[in-house]
Amino acid sequence: MADRLAQDRTIRSEAIKRAFGRVPRHAFVPGASIEAAYEDRAIVIKAEGGVTLSSASQPAIVGTMLEQLDVSEGMAVLEVGTGSGYNAALVAEIVGSSGRVVTIEIDPDVAEQARRNLRAIGYEQVHVLVGDAFAGCAEEAPYDRVIVTTGVPDLSLAWIEQLSEGGIIVAPIRLNSLQLSAALVKLDAHRLVSKSLYGCGFSPIRGEWAKAEPPVVLSPEIEKVQRIWQAQRWNEFDDFSVVAERSPNETASRHFTFSVEPR
């Protein structure tokens, strides 16, 4: 799987390739066959009434988001949405014993299974917390990186406060009808600018933010981005940046406003 993802340039850095080679995905999807575990597909790990509540994400998007995260040895990382625990194990491989990984899962059963999966293959240093990750985890802040693995209508103020200045948050953000995995660099507590964008399709966040409205972006650029998304010409996203700014009309569920600008 690591070779396939490297061949098509989904993963480019040696550290990420090494992590994909070392972490056995089948250990995180016990219900799936070995063949299925190494296909480039998401695997549902919990569903209720036909609705997917948790899944191990498609390896290609996992690799893409890790490349966007630009994570390296010794860093402290917060993950939102533990799911299977597979991505947390990959991050733990990359940051090594001098780094830290904290991951938060809203569903206690899913969190317990992830904890078991991680422990079974020696990643007990990953700190799995149960709760709504909307609030982040201030006790273990600051983080050099934050990775959100569930669809969000906004950036939580807590995540940005807990992220170091110059740090990067990668999050699948809904902008109008699109969902974009944006790697946003924190310039200061009020402003973040993306350095890369990819199209993605995560299930929406559960809990506190489940009913929040996605932001409406009004700029001519969003229409261009929409056309690129429809044609799936992902490399053309490089011509645009998403800018997130603290909202002047902040409410409990709206913390940032978003715009799309040419680079």
Asked if residue 207 lies in contact with residue 152, where contact means CB atoms within 8 angstroms, the answer is no
Query: What's the CA gap between 153 and 34, in Å, rounded?
Result: 35
> Is 133 near ligand SAM (CB under 6 A)?
yes
Among 11, 76, 94, 105, binds ligand SAM (CB under 6 A): 105
Give the nearest distance from C-beta 65 to ligand SAM in angstroms.
9
Q: Cα torsion for 195, 199, 204, 209, to the nearest 10°?
A: 30
| Position 137 contacts ligand SAM (CB under 6 A) | no
Cα(37)–Cα(17) distance, rounded to whole angstroms? 17
The answer to whether the beta carbons of residues 136 and 157 sit under 8 Å apart is no
In the list 10, 68, 117, 149, the residue contacting ligand SAM (rule: CB under 6 A) is 149
Pick the catalytic residue from 13, 33, 54, 72. Answer: 54
The CB-of-228 to ligand SAM minimum distance in angstroms stands at: 24
Nearer to ligand SAM, 18 or 206 (CB): 206
| Residues 52-91, mask of contacts with ligand SAM (x by CB under 6 A) | -xxxxx----------------------xx-xx-xx----
Alpha-helical (H) ranges within 96-219 are 108-120, 157-162
Q: What is the C-alpha separation between 222 and 60, in angstroms, rounded?
A: 25
| 54 assigned to active site | yes
Q: Which stretch binds ligand SAM (CB under 6 A): 7-15, 101-109, 184-192, 193-201?
A: 101-109
**Residue environment code for 94-108, b if the CB has 16+ CB neighbours within 10 A, otherwise e:** bbeeebbbbbbbbbe
**Closest among 151, 152, 163, 183 to 67, alpha carbons compared:** 183
Q: How far is the CB of 258 from ligand SAM (least distance, A)?
A: 20
Q: How far is the CB of 80 from ligand SAM (least distance, A)?
A: 6
Give contact residues for ligand SAM (rule: CB under 6 A).
53-57, 80-81, 83-84, 86-87, 104-107, 110, 132-134, 149-150, 202, 205-207
